[in-house]
Structure 1
Amino acid sequence: MKPAFLLLMCFVAWPLLGQVNTGELRVKVTDANGLGLQVAISVVSEANQYSNELGTNEEGMVRFKTLAYGVYRLKIEKPGFSTTENSVEIRSAIPVDRTFQLALAPVSTVIQVSSTGTLIDPSRPSSIVQIGTIQIEDRVASLPGRSVQDLVNSQPGWLYEGNAVLHPRGSEYQTQLVVDGVPLTDNRSPGFGPEIEADDLDSVSIYTAGFPAEYGRKLGGVVELNTKRQAQAGLHGQLVLGGGSYDTLQSFGEVQKTWSKDSLFASGSGSSTSHYLNPVVPENFTNKGTTGDFAVRYERDFTASDRLTLSVRHELSRFEIPNELLQQQAGQIQNGDNFETIGSASYQHIFSPNLLTNIVGMVRDNANDLYSNPLSTPIVAFQKNSFREGYFKGTVSLHHGNQEFKAGVESDTTFLHENFSYTITDPTQFDDGTPVTLPPFVQSRPDLEQSAFVEDLIRLGRWTVSAGLRWDHYQLLLNQNAFSPRVSVGRYLPSLNTVFHVSYDRIFQTPSNENILISSSGYIQSVNPEVLKLPVKPSEGNYYEGGLSKSFGERLRLDINLYRRDVRNYADDDQLLNTGVSYPIAFDKSVIYGAEGKLDLVHLGKLTGYVSYSYMVGNVWFPVTGGLFLGDDANAALTQLSGHFPDSQDQRNTVRTRFKYQLLSRVWLAAGLLSGSGLPFEYEGSQEDALAQYGPSVVNRLNFDRGRVDPALSVQASLGADVFKSERINSRLQVDGDNLNNRLNVIDFGGLFSGNAIGPARSFTIRLNTSF
């Protein structure tokens, strides 16, 4: 792509901040004389699991911000006036304006105007999972550091490995979170990046296919997080207090003040627990952790067409690394921590009712450490990594007739810094000749990535087509670029209440930058002379999906998807020595295919809920095409030139379900379960070695003949009640029980420091949520 074209794109996009796939609804309500009315307006979308109610100001106006694309039902009520219902579609970032004139109500009369069902979206050309306010509020409580991950993992197609690392449809570390339009492409699991608390969110949108061309770099799955933005004037807030098993204490608070054209928002959270990471043995040795999160956001609407948003967020986590039996006997203590500060600024300008631009800029500092006491075995490791990231994105959105056009550019520069050292305390665990200690490895290098995209959403009667093209450039160890076309097509059949959809995504995924410098450096030659080093290339591939979404009346919705992913230079990760320090590697190709289905019961009297099923098969082919391999692994990589093995997320059958019943007007009961058929594993030692390290209770949950973890089952239940409710204050109490069947669920198993993890035993949590 020519530099002149990129400069032109930057100039065109400059007036606007990078928006996500959300829009805004602006409503004005008047009486018969055109005077503004203060009324209550509810906005509901069953397809997006969204429900919210706000009141208009003295001029009769209100704004519903960050609404995910879809169909919404509006209900406007005021005593003495006729109740009005209507529907509205949100399809782009350009705000939708609606004006309603209320008539005086005859006695006992309700006017219904164009009330349309919202259980399916007839103009959605691909499968997108929406998690709205209802599911966020009623979710099962999570251990600290993983509330967002647990929400995502409740959806079909997603799997956990140890420590809440999300894996969408067989991808390894290829998930990106997009927080209010800013993408975070690094590992966001509890052991690597502090979380944004789920109570801070208004909605979540999840993509595993049909990716807009706006998204790139990490495309295993994209998770859009939209934080709360209360448009109601005055002072509003929320306080959440909770605690439970494993000495867990959690708190979250937020407050927002809106006046005139300004809004100021502040939030904070903190937690502590003795079960922060997934332990490797049931005794849960050395697993304490604490987290903290603080955020401030200021928003000003200079005019109806200009909005400025400034935000700062600081997050931290400190935790212990869980020991296995031999490490605990030796007295090992390993600690990790992570600190992150994010500052962002965005500006939005509306040129006309059909043209909007958006610009966002972000600077992020991230630092993580690993350090061990002298009694650690078989190695004492120290790591101090950090990076500073500068990000810019500009987009322009244009509505024309039946088309929603969007184009933009983005640039991301990450300055990596790595510092690592070690001392071996048990040489018998390593290859002969491995040095007991070496001087520290210290290196810095920039990771440069740029992109540009165009996309268009076209509605042609009952057909909807989304087409886009993306260009990416990546420069770290290699210098590569690629074009990625994307297309999704949907067809709505009203006679069947069904939307059929197919999609194709060309993907270009950049390697993980976690410890990529040390794994490609000459330092490794000093560790072991038998070494194979290959630069890790970006992954390139093709994603295919077909499916349907069908509603049965306004009570049931069925979603079915079939998919296949063909990827070259399939990304994976490995461990440096026995330290738990991971770095990227790659194999020749992978083929992953499967099916997903979910049945949502929106309401059957007082009952709501869902049941989902996922089937997945994943295989990876030799030879290795990138990464670091030492000693025997290097020899194996050089000689293993063909054949394949199961992908580490190759779990064939996964079932999830949760149903909620409204016992009384203020009391509800919910129950559900999670069942998985078990992940594959490899273990280099003998079964006797495994017994010595992890004990019989863990080993009895492994099938060494099949190389599979035994099936897992966890039963959950919740009881909730509105303990206080008034016009201004609402307090909700919720008690959750997890793994009530108390099964020892081994999540995955791979040998020392290689991802061993078991789930929590039977545990309970109580949470009080007060909003005003």
Structure 2
Amino acid sequence: MKQFVRRLQFLAAASLTTTMLLAHAPGQATGTGGTVAGTVTDPSDALVAGANVTLTSAVTGYKQSVTTGTDGAFRLVNLPPNQYHLEVSAAGFQSYAQDIPVHTQVPIQVSVRLVLGAATQTVNVEASAEAVENVPAAHTDVDQSLLQNLPLSGTGQGLSDAITLSSGGVVADSNGFFHPQGDHGETTYVVDGQPISDQQNKVFSTQLPANAFQSMELVTTGPGAEYGDKTSLIVNTVTRSGLGQKPTASLDAYYGSFGTIGEDATFGIGGAKWGNFLVLDSSRSGRFLDSPEFWPIHDVGNTETIWDRIDYDPGSRDALHVNAFAARNWFQIPNTYDQSQQDQRQQARTFNFALGYQHTFNANTLLSVNPFVREDHVDYYPSRDPFNDNPATIDQDRHLTNWGTRAEVSFADRINNVKIGTELMQTHLVENFNFGLTNPAYNPVCLTTSGAPVTTPTPVNPNACAGLGYVANPNLQPGLVPYDLTRGGSLFYFYDRGNVNQEAFYAQDQITLKNLTLNLGVRWDNYDGLSKDHLFEPRAGASYFVKRIGTVVRFSYDRTMETPYNENLLLSSSTGAGGLASNVFGAYGSTP
């Protein structure tokens, strides 16, 4: 707990220091969403100041507005990928309208020339205002306006609820375990360019707060070549930014059944060149996890989360943003009626720090670099008296530390949207695990002639059962007998550490030909952990917009390489000396 508090103090100090530095630095930063920028002129090419510029999405309802400065320039930043409708109006001029697809981080330049006339008249440039996206990937767009209206849980799984409630083909159990397309846990989050493929639910880790996201693109079919690792569901997110905001804050407090109480607070502030957006969430519930009983027993838990995003954007060639995140879940393990004395608990702590740097070479080419580090630290505590635990006492302390970088060069013009990039990551695993049986009837050595378990400390050898008037247990797991504390056994001790190294390279091009969109790409993945593998992965997709009936027809072919879960990877894969013998905990065979 002291270590976690120190990290929170460091996070707060780092966020404040970075904000102060960025507010006075000669560099810049922008979000990893899209950017639409341009100038507004009159028929004589004179700059128009004070023009109202509004960008809206008919798909999600997202809206962003700015006013041109004395130089007639405008800049709309941190835009979620989608189809947009641009409108420009000024006194004494006809309104201007244009549809703009935003599917790249390369800034999209727009030159707006207003025509004299009444404001009730509108000049349309390529305006169709379609409410569908003509892209090969089947996906769902979720905006903050929708997130605010969803009935999200306040017990550490708001993000899971947001995804399952808004995306077809994705279901989850009541603890937030995802099953996208029927494939358990195969989900990759991309948070402002940072890939996260470890399980993000309250049982194994913590979750990012749903109120930190500006938008989510939930891809269930046809992932592009930039996505790897776990691809049954891609959650591509753009987080909220304080860039260009006046001081804005929100505070939501709630109370519900099972003693559930919590608060969600946000604060955004910024100017034309810098911004800061802070999220502070906390909650407590008497039914934190799904209970095995109708009324929860020993099921109290709480969660605390802090998220901070810092931007600096002077509008020139270089850009920077910083994401900082820390969270903690502390909860009791729910009991059944026959576990009245059991007091098992778990604590999960997460720390994440990510940078995003962008350099614009020209109007069509952009470089993005995203270094990051993230750590999950999970402790599982047994009851003080191990014999209060039933049927086993368990103690665990594990660390999962992931660091790496993602670099990508993007090129975009009216037809092509090219991405060429690489991902380099290492995950360092440290696992401590102790285990012992505390219920003599769980793995009895002998049975009575009527089939009842013999719960006496002896015998410990099934060959001795007949001499005592018993029969040997045909379902005995002999590998568990040395760890049966009721029969003089000792705790099973496990400790190991290891690294998982991953490298990936990809290239793809999204080609737009009127109503036809093609997505052609290739990816190469290399996995070097307890097992080793590499794979060449072609990706191809096509979509065609049938305008007459407002329908998009999609096709895709994807070859992917799914990687093992990192949680408890060392323990579940170990055998032999110091590891798990055959038939113990379902572990068979040798290290892969």
User: 1:359 Cα shift?
Assistant: 0.4
Q: Letter of the 2:173 partner, please give it.
A: E
Worse-superposed segment, 61-70 or 263-272? 61-70
Per-residue CA distance 1:305-329 (angstroms, 9 max, x = gap): 21011222111111111112212x3
Q: Secondary structure at the match of 1:284?
A: coil
User: 1:400 Cα shift?
Assistant: 4.6
What CA distance in whole angstroms lies between the structure 1 residues aligned with 2:31 and 2:188?
A: 16
**1:368 alignment counterpart:** 378
Is the counterpart of residue 345 in structure 1 residue 381 in structure 2? no
Change (3 A) 1:526 1:183: closer
Which among 495, 511, 517 is matched to residue 458 of structure 1? 511
**2:587 alignment counterpart:** 628
CA contact 1:17–1:358 (8 Å) conserved in 2: no
Is the counterpart of residue 418 in structure 1 residue 471 in structure 2? no
Q: Letter of the 2:515 partner, please give it.
A: R
Worse-superposed segment, 489-498 or 365-374? 489-498
User: 1:19 Cα shift?
Assistant: 8.9
Pairing of 1:278-677 with structure 2 (within 5 A): 278-327=290-339, 329=340, 331-373=341-383, 374=385, 375-400=388-413, 402-430=415-443, 431-433=476-478, 434=480, 435-436=483-484, 437-522=490-575, 529-531=581-583, 577=585, 628-629=587-588
**TM-score using structure 1 length:** 0.63
Cα RMSD after superposing both structures: 2.6
Per-residue CA distance 1:703-731 (angstroms, 9 max, x = gap): xxxxxxxxxxxxxxxxxxxxxxxxxxxxx
User: 1:530 Cα shift?
Assistant: 4.1
Which among 128, 131, 145 is matched to residue 156 of structure 2? 145
**1:43 alignment counterpart:** 55
What CA distance in whole angstroms lies between the structure 1 residues aligned with 2:420 and 2:30?
A: 10
CA contact 1:423–1:438 (8 Å) conserved in 2: yes
Q: Letter of the 1:176 partner, please give it.
A: T
What CA distance in whole angstroms lies between the structure 2 residues aligned with 1:116 and 1:156?
A: 27
**1:261 alignment counterpart:** 273
**2:82 alignment counterpart:** 70
**1:171 alignment counterpart:** 183
CA contact 2:324–2:353 (8 Å) conserved in 1: yes
User: 1:141 Cα shift?
Assistant: 3.2
User: 1:80 Cα shift?
Assistant: 6.0
Structure of higher CA gyration radius: 2
Pairing of 1:129-144 with structure 2 (within 5 A): 129-144=140-155
Which among 39, 60, 65 is matched to residue 54 of structure 1? 65
User: 1:231 Cα shift?
Assistant: 3.5
**Contiguous gaps of at least 5 residues in structure 1:** 1-15, 532-575, 578-626, 635-772
**Contiguous gaps of at least 5 residues in structure 2:** 1-27, 444-475, 485-489
CA contact 1:194–1:339 (8 Å) conserved in 2: yes
User: 1:30 Cα shift?
Assistant: 4.9
User: 1:83 Cα shift?
Assistant: 3.8
What CA distance in whole angstroms lies between the structure 2 residues aligned with 1:38 and 1:240?
A: 35
What CA distance in whole angstroms lies between the structure 1 residues aligned with 2:390 and 2:182?
A: 32
**1:639 alignment counterpart:** none
CA contact 1:318–1:336 (8 Å) conserved in 2: yes
User: 1:105 Cα shift?
Assistant: 5.3
Q: Secondary structure at the match of 2:221?
A: coil
Change (3 A) 1:525 1:344: closer
CA contact 2:329–2:348 (8 Å) conserved in 1: yes
Change (3 A) 1:237 1:524: farther
Change (3 A) 1:172 1:283: same
User: 1:460 Cα shift?
Assistant: 2.7
CA contact 2:144–2:211 (8 Å) conserved in 1: no
Change (3 A) 1:427 1:80: farther
User: 1:382 Cα shift?
Assistant: 0.5
Per-residue CA distance 1:477-528 (angstroms, 9 max, x = gap): 122111111100112222232221111110101111211111222368776x
Q: Secondary structure at the match of 2:222?
A: coil
Change (3 A) 1:62 1:146: farther
Change (3 A) 1:37 1:282: farther
Change (3 A) 1:145 1:503: same
CA contact 2:511–2:518 (8 Å) conserved in 1: yes
Per-residue CA distance 1:625-683 (angstroms, 9 max, x = gap): xx8249xxx9xxxxxxxxxxxxxxxxxxxxxxxxxxxxxxxxxxxxxxxxxxxxxxxxx
Per-residue CA distance 1:19-69 (angstroms, 9 max, x = gap): 96x42222544566734433444322233x142232325345443333333
Percent sequence identity over aligned pairs: 24
Per-residue CA distance 1:723-766 (angstroms, 9 max, x = gap): xxxxxxxxxxxxxxxxxxxxxxxxxxxxxxxxxxxxxxxxxxxx
User: 1:71 Cα shift?
Assistant: 1.8
Worse-superposed segment, 69-78 or 411-420? 69-78
Change (3 A) 1:68 1:488: farther
User: 1:368 Cα shift?
Assistant: 0.6
Is the counterpart of residue 249 in structure 1 residue 302 in structure 2? no
**2:199 alignment counterpart:** 187
What CA distance in whole angstroms lies between the structure 1 residues aligned with 2:403 and 2:251?
A: 33
Q: How many residues align?
A: 516
Q: Letter of the 1:411 partner, please give it.
A: L
CA contact 1:210–1:503 (8 Å) conserved in 2: yes
Q: Letter of the 1:358 partner, please give it.
A: S
CA contact 2:407–2:421 (8 Å) conserved in 1: yes
Q: Secondary structure at the match of 1:441?
A: strand
What CA distance in whole angstroms lies between the structure 1 residues aligned with 2:305 and 2:367?
A: 31
Q: Secondary structure at the match of 2:159?
A: helix
Worse-superposed segment, 240-249 or 373-382? 240-249
Q: Secondary structure at the match of 1:134?
A: helix
Worse-superposed segment, 267-276 or 210-219? 267-276
CA contact 1:70–1:124 (8 Å) conserved in 2: no
What CA distance in whole angstroms lies between the structure 2 residues aligned with 1:526 and 1:481?
A: 27
User: 1:241 Cα shift?
Assistant: 2.4
CA contact 2:546–2:552 (8 Å) conserved in 1: yes
User: 1:168 Cα shift?
Assistant: 0.4
Q: Secondary structure at the match of 1:517?
A: helix
CA contact 1:84–1:113 (8 Å) conserved in 2: yes
Per-residue CA distance 1:118-144 (angstroms, 9 max, x = gap): 3112x3123121111331121113232
What CA distance in whole angstroms lies between the structure 2 residues aligned with 1:271 and 1:105?
A: 56
